Amino acid sequence: MTRLPNVRIDVVAFAQARDALGAGHLELDLPAGSRVSDALAALAGAYPALAPLAPHLAIAIDRQLARGERELTDGCELALLPPVSGG
């Protein structure tokens, strides 16, 4: 049986998401065929402080907004964009 390679993605986090991860940038290895929703689940599992924020995040893949079903490619950038409030 052939094993599919992993994909390595660059995660960039801003504001509260950065605080929850404890870093503004990290790398994440996932199985090939993983989607945005899989990346969020892996991150929320590894960084529990991110879990309550995850449903409210906008996600960008390579600087384009993306939905949870979008498949990730090796080397892509996944940006975690928390909601913005202003006054």
Domain that holds residue 33: 6-81
**The pLDDT of residue 70:** 97
- Does 30 map to a domain? yes
- Does 58 map to a domain? yes
- Does 87 map to a domain? no
Asked if residue 3 has pLDDT above 80, the reply is no
**The pLDDT of residue 84:** 78
Are 57 and 82 a contacting pair, CB within 8 Å? yes
- Does 86 map to a domain? no
* pTM summary value: 0.89
- The CATH number that applies at residue 24 is 3.10.20.30
CA atoms of 42 and 37, how far apart (whole Å): 9
Count of structural domains within the chain: 1
Are 68 and 44 a contacting pair, CB within 8 Å? no
